[in-house]
Amino acid sequence: MQVAVLCGGLGSRLRPITDAVPKPMVPVADRPFLEHLLEQMAEQGHRRFLLMTGYLGEQVEEYFGDGSSRGWEVAYSAGPATWDTGRRLVEAAHLLEPDFLLLYSDNWADVDTTSLLERHRATGRAVTATLVGREGGNVRYRAEVDLEAYVPTREGQALDHVEIGYMAVARDRMLTYLRRLPDSPDVGFSSVLASLADAGDLGGHALTGRYLSISDPARLEVTREHFSGKRILLIDRDGTINRKAAPGEYVATREQFEFIPETVAAMRELADDGFRYIVITNQAGIALGTVDEGEVEAIHREMVDRLAAEGIEVMDVYLSPDHWDSGSTTRKPAPGLFHAASTDHRFRLDRVLYVGDDERDCQAAANAGCGMVFLDDGGSSADLPVNRRHHSVHPNLLEAVPVIRRHYGIGEGR
């Protein structure tokens, strides 16, 4: 599908950076932010791009050219920096395909465009926008009803989501709403979205995670840290770091905690490559009352200390104490703890792997948008959940080390 990107604004909030470079070309991880967005789309099979440029747009065109060197098709619709986003779409209408994806050039989120398009086609809306939960947003959304209100001024009650771009658009229907607006085509696209929402023709596709932005200096620095390529490996506890208790039982004391030698050896080997670790674990024994929460904390302190003595840094331990019937958003396979870790330690979930030994681990990784290393020495992995990221099966973590290195761009050697 064609991807159109609005990238013509002045980027006033990013001055003085944008005095010399347009906002989409601001460097993030040594490359223009726009390049990260286009690569994200290309990885999902979308390689036809229309860039609607304005302010210093010649820099965008000079950098990307026709896209052929990357295996892309890149076209341009250029206009003055003074054009509003509504006019940019009208002026580009003859280049837009009947159905296309529309992105802003200053936001990034881990959006699965297949899911977005499925939602768009199922609801039949003219536009389906990607949403992220946020107090004081510009959207009121309920999954069972869909998008209920879009308020660009953010003045209203129960506006619990924010619209971040990544839209599926039916061109002709969208343009019909745009052209009906007073002062059209010289209007902001937010006015078009408000008109669509008022008519019940704007749908929502809600994400469970967060989004990043480069719209102001503070958020730019947060985004740059997320994109900095940290070598972080997410890892399960029971059955992965330590041996599991018998079925129906829990590791309840420090004396019962026994490391798996192959895992420790692998963690030590990867630590020599600069890897650090975040543990994400379910501990339903706390909810059941069979495990003392204070003892679990003591187990984790000792686990972290003993690994540190081996040169292995555990950055954090995230645990869900909830019962499996609780509907918890943090208990795996729900991805809540993954998102918390990403926010706290500023890394991209789509660039890391999670190591686990249970089907719920695989589903949690898929739900969080990260890759999966599944440890299984019994051949029980035939019906594991599908993951659009990396997914490989190994008898133990030591056997997975070469694969992990390659995934993080290290190769088989150090």
* DSSP output for 306-364: HHHHTT--EEEEEEE---TTS--SSSTTS-HHHHHHHHHHT--GGG-EEEESSHHHHHH
Provide the number of structural domains found in the chain. 2
- 83, with CB counted inside 10 A (0-12, 13-18, 19+), is buried
- Spell out the residues 6+ positions from residue 47 whose beta carbon is closer than 8 angstroms to its own: 41, 67, 71, 72, 73
Residues 242 and 221 in one domain: no
Distances (CA, A) of 398 to 2, 174, 241, 269, 413: 42, 53, 12, 9, 14
Is 412 part of a structural domain of the chain?
no
Residues 268 and 168 in one domain: no
Helix (H) or strand (E) holding 176: helix 171-180
Instruction: Give the CATH number, domain containing residue 368.
Output: 3.40.50.1000
Residues 322 and 368 in one domain: yes
Residues 196 and 302 in one domain: no
Domain containing 22 equals: 2-226
Is 376 part of a structural domain of the chain?
yes
Distances (CA, A) of 1 to 42, 44, 91, 351: 10, 10, 20, 24
Residues 160 and 281 in one domain: no
User: Which of 187, 203, 226 is at the close of a domain?
Assistant: 226
Calpha distance 301→291 (Å, rounded)? 16
Instruction: Give the CATH number, domain containing residue 31.
Output: 3.90.550.10
Residues 251 and 183 in one domain: no
Distances (CA, A) of 378 to 239, 343, 391: 13, 35, 17
Tens of pLDDT, residue by residue, the chain (414 residues): 999 999 999 989 999 999 999 999 999 999 999 999 999 999 999 999 999 999 999 999 999 999 999 999 999 999 999 999 999 999 999 999 999 999 999 999 999 999 999 999 999 999 999 999 888 888 888 887 888 889 888 887 788 899 999 999 999 999 999 999 999 999 999 999 999 999 999 999 999 888 999 999 999 999 999 999 899 999 999 999 999 988 888 888 999 999 999 999 999 999 999 999 999 998 888 888 888 889 999 999 999 999 999 999 999 999 999 887 888 888 999 999 999 999 999 999 999 999 999 888 999 999 999 999 999 877 555 577 777 889 999 999 999 999 999 999 986 444
Distances (CA, A) of 294 to 127, 253, 285: 50, 10, 12
Residues 193 and 246 in one domain: no
Q: Which structure tokens are listed for 260?
A: 């798996």
Across the strands, what pairs with 234? 278, 354
Is 35 part of a structural domain of the chain?
yes
User: Which of 178, 201, 226 is at the close of a domain?
Assistant: 226
Is 414 part of a structural domain of the chain?
no
Residues 131 and 82 in one domain: yes
